[in-house]
Structure formats: C-alpha cells, structure tokens
Structure 1
Amino acid sequence: MSTPITCHVLNTLSGTPASGLKATLTLLSADNSSSPQSSTSFGAKTDEDGRVKAWEPSAGKTLGEVMDSYNSGDRIACSIKFDIGPWYEEKGIESFWPEIEVKFYVKKGERHYHVPVLVGPWTYTTYRGS
C-alpha cells in the first residue's frame, strides 16, 4: 500500500524539481480521536523529481500504521515543513524563507492526499493536489 500523504516540490527559480529538499511531515492532532498520538513526525528528502513518495518510519511505525490508529473519519491536522533556506543556500542563493510550512487536514479513511508546492527564494504557493 502506498503512503496516504505525498508531496511534490518545484523550484520556480529554475523551473526544475526541487530534489534533495528536506521535508518533515507531522501529524499534529485529530478531532474526536481517543488515540494517544500527538505530534508524530516523519522525515524525508525529495527525490530527483522533487517528490516525496514515502516517509521514514517514526518510532518503528510507518505513516500508514500511525494513521490506522486513529478513528475512522477523524479529521487529522497535519503539517509539512520544508527546509528551504538551507536548500537554496547550498546552491549559493539567499532565501527570504528559512523554512516553509504547509498545514492542512486529512480524514482517515478518505483517499490519498497529495500536497504540491511551488517554491522560490522569495515566494511559495501550494494547493490540494490529486
């Protein structure tokens, strides 16, 4: 089974995928959940196409396993933080953003969630992908 949350980052300065960008996905909380989890985080780096298709396990559990512990239909607050400042600095470009964070909700039991992000050293935008 694929991971329930993925992302795709494009570098608007060069018009290319943002490969090698560090990302952290955090499940912040869930409405109506009796689950003990709060602030469970998963790390990843974007691949050569600027995508995160899988997250590193946290405390030995995959993202799917942690999400399975929530109640069906729970609305889960999530965050993906991208370390954009250091990533641009490695390329010799000064960035206005040390990091960018996209917060959003997912519902357990619903379809896959995809979070596309367009980044530049002075701007970023995001939307709910498909």
Structure 2
Amino acid sequence: MSRDPVTCHVLNTLTGTPAANLPVTLTLLSAPTNPQGPVVYNATTDSDGRVKNWTPVGSTPSTVPAFLASLPAADSRTSWSISFKVGPWYESQGVECFWPEVEVKFYVKGRGREGEEGWRHYHVPVLLGPWNYSTYRGS
C-alpha cells in the first residue's frame, strides 16, 4: 500500500524505541473551500512508530490524497493538526505523563501531481517523552 501525502513517525525518548500503538488524529483546520462537515482521520502508529495511511472518521468523505486532489488550485494552502494521545498511552505502560495529548499544527501547500510518487510529501516526526517533546519538518 502506498503512503498518504501526510505521514508521521514517533519515537519514545524514555525508552529509545518507536512509539508503537499510539493513537493519532489528523484534522483539517482550514482550507480555501469549506468542506461539508469536519475532515478528520484516525490512525495508530505501527510497530516502527509510523503512520503511513489515515482512515476517514465519521462524515469525512474521502482519503487524504482524494481530499487534496479536490482542492481548487494545485498551490492551495491548507492548515492541519496532528494530535498524539500520549497521556493514556504512557499511563497504559505505567508511566506518569505530563501531556494528555501533543498537538502539532502545520501547513500543507499544494497537492503536487497525482500519482503514487507525484504527491508532495509532508512528514511530521516527533520525539516524545512523558515530560517533553520536539518536532520538525521531516523528509
């Protein structure tokens, strides 16, 4: 299966391992056209702490690539949020955590060319600990 244009990777800095089985939500915050209803996707990190594909939630009508393809212009700018449900995740491992969730907001500019390798790719890596986190735009 190919990856979506927006992906993420989470590493647990407490143990130095990938953050596997972490619930993650991708939410559209703003777009040049107003979609009907919220645009929300869920995923759970894989054994390597990665999310490569998102599942539409509720009334979200399409996949991430299909949503980006529906934008009115190839250089349309959208605003997104990825929310990592870290509090319950750490607590399930018996670790006290300061953060109930960590949210990273970012822009996606354009949709690139349609096709598996043609999409612009936005990768959001997160280094996550129970008392700290950091992020940057990945490649």
What residue ranges of structure 1 are gaps of 5+ in the alignment?
A: none
What is the letter of the counterpart of residue 44 of structure 2?
Answer: K
Structure 2 CA distance, aligned partners of 1:38 and 1:79?
Answer: 16
Q: Which residue of 1 aligns with 2:46?
A: 47
Q: Distance in 1 between matches of 2:43 and 2:23?
A: 6
Q: Which residue of 2 aligns with 1:117?
A: 126
Using the TM superposition, give the Cα deviation of residue 36 of structure 1 relative to its aligned residue in structure 2, in angstroms.
Answer: 2.6
User: What is aligned with 1:5?
Assistant: 6
2:23–2:43 Cα contact (<8 Å) kept? yes
* 8 A contact 2:68–2:111 mirrored in 1: no
**Alignment partner of 2:80: what SS?**
strand
Query: TM-score normalised to the size of structure 1?
Result: 0.92
User: What is the DSSP-based 3-state SS (H/G/I as helix, E as strand, rest coil) of the residue aligned with 2:55?
Assistant: coil
Q: Which digits, 9 at most, give the CA deviation of each residue in 1:26-80, with x for residues without a partner?
A: 11112xx234356411000000000001001343511111111112211110000
Of 66-75 and 39-48, the range deviating more from structure 2: 66-75
Q: Which residue of 2 aligns with 1:89?
A: 91
Task: Look up the match of 2:135.
Answer: 126
- Specify the SS of the correspondent of 2:75: coil
TM-score of the two chains, using structure 2 as the length reference: 0.86
Report what 1:80 is aligned to. Answer: 82
RMSD (CA atoms): 1.4
Residue of structure 2 equivalent to 1:99: 101
Stretch of structure 1 that moved more, 87-96 or 71-80: 71-80
- Mapping 1:61-72, distance limit 5 Å: 61-71=62-72, 72=74
Identity of aligned residues (%): 58
Question: CA offsets, 1:10-32, max 9 Å, x none?
Answer: 000000000000000011112xx
| SS class of match (1:105) | strand
In 2, distance between residues paired with 1:74 and 1:91? 41
- One-letter amino acid of the counterpart of residue 114, structure 1: H
1:37 & 1:18 partners in 2: Cα distance? 33
C-alpha distance in 1 between matches for 2:37 and 2:127:
28
Distance 1:60 1:75, change over 3 A: closer
Structure 1 window deviating more from structure 2 (55-64 vs 76-85): it is 55-64
Counterpart residue type for residue 99 of structure 2:
W
- 3-state SS of paired residue (1:10): strand
Please identify runs of 4+ aligned residues in structure 1 that moved more than 2 A. Answer: 34-39, 57-60
